[in-house]
Structure 1
Amino acid sequence: MAHGSRDPRSAQTVHAIVDALRATAPGIAVHVAFLDLSVPSLGDVVETVARAGHRRAVVVPLLLGSAYHSRVDLPALLAAASARRPGMELIQAPVLGDDERLVAAVRDRIVGAGAPADDPSVGVALSAVGSSSAEANAVTRALAARVCAGTAWHGARACFAAATEPTVESAVTELRARGARRIVVGSWFLAPGLLTDRVRRRALAADPSALIADPIGPHALVPQVIVDRYRRAAAAAAARTSRTAAA
């Protein structure tokens, strides 16, 4: 389940990720659903899965942070879908989160944008959506140093497209002040959309020579993380069922 967007590139990227997932895990029946703004909805997909004869489904949120959408919106949608289909067990898996494989994928995208890992002149502004959750923003801020791990880059600074500070402009200014001679804007976004376009515009206004890395997208490591979340959630649900039956 992805967030959804008015920008068609977002849904296209989600479908590309899921195509890669199906190739990685051909034994798992995979369906795409969206929280909002794109179709199909989660409720519609639950109906499709139920009509196909399944009695249990794991919903993996394709979200990089654990904030309002995963803690409030999605549980409410699952509760509504369960009320309509009382015979269907719906299991919410953890978000993709700050998994080290996704951090490595971001690093790969930065290198792919033209910033060699052995270049000490590079400063990385790691852009993310921003959240009303201080805890979620703190996790994102800590990612900047992790993205630089194993490289010779000068340093990194997290920045946000909305909801909180610092902005990409201030991150670029700070990196320059610290001595970075080349700026690369990394993307802690799963897919392109209106917010990544905003980040690009602001970054280039602050530094026309800045390199802009692609979002994570259908990187080869993403399906691994999704399958991991699925299997852990399914195993935990099976264990709960066993304990209940034993009791």
Structure 2
Amino acid sequence: MNPTLIAVAHGTRSAAGRRQLQDLAAAVARRRPGLDVRLCYVDVQEPKVADVVPTLGDAVVVPLLLSAGYHVRVDIAEAVAGTDIPVTGPLGPDPVLLESLTRTLPAADAVVLAAAGSSDPAWRADVEEVAGRLNARIGYVSGSGPRVPDVVAQLRRQGARKIAIGAYLLAEGLFYRSLHTAGADHVTPPLCHDPAVADLVLRRFDSARLLTTATAAM
């Protein structure tokens, strides 16, 4: 019998974003009939991961997050402390997400990779890796660092006529909506709209199960 897949998202106050996260969890479940998929959160929404983990024995936590930042290292790690429940790597950075961004970006003079801001060095390193692969400038929608509208404006001053924003965000919310007023010509959809992301969640789950089985057999 498969263990439960605990899908842990950040959480959002956006009704559209909440539906998108629920749809992603449902898509994962449809791809693996019989798999129990539980969606929970680290912030804003209920149930919190710390409340779900104690109710389950055999489970795998898959962070629906784009980097191994604070929420993975602290919130999720504290939730599973003292249990045997493994935590997979986050969804990003991963070639699947890069391919998704590439498919949805139109031809443009310049690309801005828009990401949530964070002071976490691991998060910033991951964002820089993705931006480098896209040959994009980085703009943040929160926290410290260059803001997306400022980066777009600077590119305009430098002569860019068509600017595209690659939204490095999983679901809709305040951050995503702000990108549509940042002055660019195109904004890619939230990453959760790509069916390949549901497959990525299952790959993370399967990798953790294989590692757990191999460790138990040693």
Which TM-score band applies after superposition, normalised by the shorter structure?
0.7 to 0.9
Which consecutive unaligned segments of at least 5 residues does structure 1 have?
83-88, 148-154
The amino acid that maps onto 2:61 is: V
- Kept after mapping to 2: 8 A contact 1:18/1:30: yes
Equivalent residue runs for 1:83-232 within 5 Å: 89-110=84-105, 115=106, 119=107, 121-147=108-134, 156-201=136-181, 203-204=182-183, 210-232=185-207
- Alignment pair present for 1:58 and 2:45: no
CA distance in 1, matches of 2:194, 2:96: 10
SS where residue 217 of structure 1 aligns?
helix
Q: CA deviation at 1:94?
A: 0.9
Per-residue CA distance 1:57-98 (angstroms, 9 max, x = gap): 000000001111000111111227x4xxxxxx3111111111
Asked which structure has the greater CA Rg, the reply is: 1
- Kept after mapping to 1: 8 A contact 2:179/2:187: no
- Kept after mapping to 1: 8 A contact 2:50/2:76: no
Paired positions, count = 211
- Kept after mapping to 1: 8 A contact 2:168/2:190: yes
- Kept after mapping to 2: 8 A contact 1:11/1:38: no
Higher mean alpha-carbon deviation, 91-100 vs 128-137, is at 128-137
Residue 5 (structure 2) aligns with: none
Equivalent residue runs for 1:1-80 within 5 Å: 1-46=8-53, 50=56, 55-79=57-81
CA distance in 1, matches of 2:70, 2:51: 22
Per-residue CA distance 1:203-231 (angstroms, 9 max, x = gap): 13xx5xx2222211231110121111111
- Kept after mapping to 2: 8 A contact 1:159/1:167: yes
CA distance in 2, matches of 1:161, 1:103: 19
TM-score (norm 2): 0.87
The amino acid that maps onto 2:99 is: A
The amino acid that maps onto 1:186 is: G
Which consecutive unaligned segments of at least 5 residues does structure 2 have?
1-7
Corresponding residue to 1:237 among 209, 212, 216: 212
Q: CA deviation at 1:27?
A: 4.4
Residue 150 (structure 1) aligns with: none
- Aligned CA-pair RMSD: 2.0
